[in-house]
Amino acid sequence: MVLKIRINREQEVFDKLIKIGEDLKTTAEALRQLINALLVKDDDMKNSSLIKIKSLNEKISMTREELLSVIYSEAFLPDFKEAIVMLTQDLYRASASAKDAGRALTARRVDEKCLTTLKESLLSYISIILEASDKVVLMLSLLPKDIASALKVGKEVQMLERSGDEIKDMIITRLYDMEDSLHLITLLQTRDAIFFLDDILDSMESAVLSIKILYATLKS
Residues 102-161 have pLDDT tens digits of 999 998 888 888 888 899 999 999 999 999 999 999 999 999 889 999 999 999 999 999
Q: Is residue 1 part of a domain?
A: no
What integer pLDDT is reported at residue 109 of this predicted model? 84
On the question of pLDDT at 6 being above 80, the answer is no
- Number of structural domains the chain divides into: 1
What integer pLDDT is reported at residue 119 of this predicted model? 92
Q: Is residue 31 part of a domain?
A: yes
What integer pLDDT is reported at residue 110 of this predicted model? 80
Complete DSSP assignment for 6-73: --SHHHHHHHHHHHHHHHHHHHHHHHHHHHHHHHHT-HHHHHHHHHHHHHHHHHHHHHHHHHHHHHHH
Whichever domain contains 108, its CATH number is 1.20.58.220
On the question of pLDDT at 194 being above 50, the answer is yes
What integer pLDDT is reported at residue 1 of this predicted model? 45
On the question of pLDDT at 75 being above 80, the answer is no
On the question of pLDDT at 185 being above 90, the answer is no
Q: Is residue 183 part of a domain?
A: yes
What integer pLDDT is reported at residue 103 of this predicted model? 95
More confident residue, 148 or 219: 148
What predicted TM-score, i.e. pTM, was given to this entire model? 0.92
Q: Is residue 20 part of a domain?
A: yes
Range of 31's domain? 9-219
